[in-house]
Amino acid sequence: MNKTPIIPPSMQTVVAEKGYLPGLRVGDLVFLAGQVGRTVDMKIVVEPKSQFEACFENLRMVLAEAGCTFDDVVDMTTYHVDMDKHWPVFREVKNRVLPHGKFPWTAIGVSALADPAFLLEAKATACVPG
């Protein structure tokens, strides 16, 4: 089985500092690690709406590095801290950024993520077009 690491140039430090791959291609599938709302220099985006936008932008960058877009996603799971508090803002961002009704999606409320400032983590699986 051929496995190809997917690492956008702006995420090289993730591999070196955090020890995981942003994505892994196996055959025609791309498995994306959970992405969070931080900048390329690893600074956490604090404001909720901006954090959600940054999270999806990071997911988009990994997809793009694999030759995919959000239209190629076949499954997504999102993990939410304070889900009930941030749900309306999250939905506004999600509905604006992601294609509507194109893939299965599971949203899970959690008590915490890797850093107390993170409100959202999103992971996905995509199928490479062609």
Low-confidence ranges of the chain (pLDDT < 70): none
Can you give the pLDDT at residue 1? 83
pTM for the full model?
0.95
The Cα–Cα gap between 22 and 108 comes to 21
Instruction: Please name the residues in contact with 87: beta carbons below 8 A apart, sequence gap of 6 or more.
Output: 80
Can you give the pLDDT at residue 130? 86
- Alpha helices by DSSP H, listed for 1-130, are 12-13, 48-65, 83-97
Sign of CA dihedral 64, 72, 23, 89: positive
Task: Indicate the SS3 state at residue 110.
Answer: strand
Can you give the pLDDT at residue 94? 97
Domains and their CATH numbers in the chain: 3-127 (3.30.1330.40)
- pLDDT tens digits for 94-113? 999 999 999 999 999 999 99
Can you give the pLDDT at residue 17? 87
